[in-house]
Structure 1
Amino acid sequence: MENADKDLDYRKIADSRGLSKLPYSSYLNDTLDAWKKRLVDSFKGMSRKRQERLIEKNAVVLSVGTTVTFLNLIYRALPLLIRVFCIPAAVVGSYVFAKKCIAPFVISELKEHLNPEILDEEEADSLATHEKAESAKIQQ
């Protein structure tokens, strides 16, 4: 119900600004909605391990990209010695920071939205036999 209200609000704003009268605006919105749905369905169709890898890759891309963009802004102001040693260290540091801090944090925050972990066959078999033994003990 809330989404419908939000959609109505967005439409009212678009109408007041004349955006809904632009040619192809509904086509563009439909295309973007279909693309978003496809991304969501694709993410939900992945295994837990692939979802975590995707989150990790995106964290690395954003962290290293932000660092490189910032370094690009101040590059000319840095002395040569700092350019040679500190810039590679900053890029490697941002990579490690993304792998060790950002990705685990995002994964823990999105835990309820990720697919459940599927155990290997050996782990599943050992877990099943352990559960059967536990239930047999309880029944006795």
Structure 2
Amino acid sequence: MLQQIYPQPDHPYEYELNKDFQFAAAHYVPSEEAGKCRRMHGHTYYANVTVAGDELDRTGFLVNFAIIKQLIHDRFDHTLLNDDRELFSDTEPDRFPTTEVVARTIYELVQAYLDGTSNRPRCVQVFLRETPTSYCIYRPKRKAGY
């Protein structure tokens, strides 16, 4: 992947790491208002996940880069996103596999993993490029203590 500059999230943490990866997946947006996107089609998604925290784990990592890629790439690569009924829906608009929802879902999967680690870093941004000219950024709202 070519080096790219991403918008920087504001956060109070000492460490920040970014993991770039890509995955190929098909989807459709099950809404009449989605126009051409209502038909099944595919993308090579380019993602950047930003994780931040103050403490490193016992191996000296904030989080292992490979784990972030495995959480997303292994689940989504060469799939039809709509088939993943645990994450996406054809009846609930907040769970249609739009770029926005996929970015939020990547955050949720990564953060669920991070919540189980001893150093508990935070996923502070997911940048998801769907086409060369279209991307979405998801940043979770800050909670107390963050």
Q: Report if TM-score (shorter chain) is over 0.5.
A: no
What TM bracket, shorter-length normalisation? under 0.3
- The structure with the largest alpha-carbon Rg is 1
User: Which structure dedicates a bigger proportion of its chain to strand?
Assistant: 2
TM norm structure 2: 0.25
